[in-house]
Amino acid sequence: MSEQLSIIVPVHNESKHILHFLKHLQTQASLQHEIIVVDGESNDGTVSLIKNQKEITVIQAKKRRAIQLNEGASCAKNEWLFFVHSDTILPYHFDRLLLKNLKSKKTARCFSLNFDLDHFSLKIAALGSRLNIAWCRGGDQTLMVHKDLFSDLGGFDEHYNIAEDLLLCRKIYRHGNFEILPKSVITSVRKFLKNGVFKTQLRHIIVRIMIFSGFNSNAVNSYYEKW
């Protein structure tokens, strides 16, 4: 199996954080990998900052995470795609952990999750991320998937404005093998704090219930956009 990743990072107005994150990506990896940052219509100078960085590819797309992630995947040169958010702290040599003992192109992997805030509901979410079931998957945990499997499953569903990662993971559980790695990533709660931790958690739970109950993208998007 290839030892190179194509690391895909969706961003929108991340000028305050993106340079620190890109440095973190490079220092935490054991090897140099392709890094593709996909900007979704930022207006705060994010793109200009990234363009000045060596060994980083930046492309622009419409502001919707599924679209951004698919655009990044379409440009990737390596076999294994690794999707990660820019508010994530990765374990040391995360790339070795992701690529170790891979035996099948149908194997997808992610890390379990911790948060940078001691909050009861977030602790429950972190514990849930250790369960190897589709309900507990989400983009904050990262995702590594082979380009062939990603293509066969149709990539991220661009009809949805939310939970595109959950929808893809559900397909992987049905048609591939999913593994939760023993190490954890740490995700920032800054987006949770914006609307309140409990409110954000409740919204995510209701979206999951709607998806697992068979609601279509219009219904899910309509609910999500009301908050």
Q: pLDDT for 21-59, tens place per residue? A: 999 999 999 999 999 999 999 999 999 999 989 899 999
Structure tokens at 60: 């622009």
State yes or no: pLDDT of 176 exceeds 80. Answer: yes
Does the model's pTM come out above 0.85?
yes
pLDDT band for 1, please (50, 70, 90 cuts).
low
Q: Where are any strands of DSSP class E within the chain? A: 5-11, 34-40, 56-61, 80-83, 88-89, 107-115, 143-146, 177-187
pLDDT at site 191? 84
Chain position carrying tokens 């990072």: 9
pLDDT at site 195? 83
At 68-99, the pLDDT tens digits run: 999 999 999 999 999 999 999 999 999 999 99
Q: How far apart are CA 214 and CA 143, in angstroms?
A: 24
State yes or no: pLDDT of 211 exceeds 90. Answer: yes
Tell me the backbone φ, ψ of residue 64, rounded to 5 degrees: -160, 125
82 contacts 6 by C-beta, under 8 angstroms:
yes
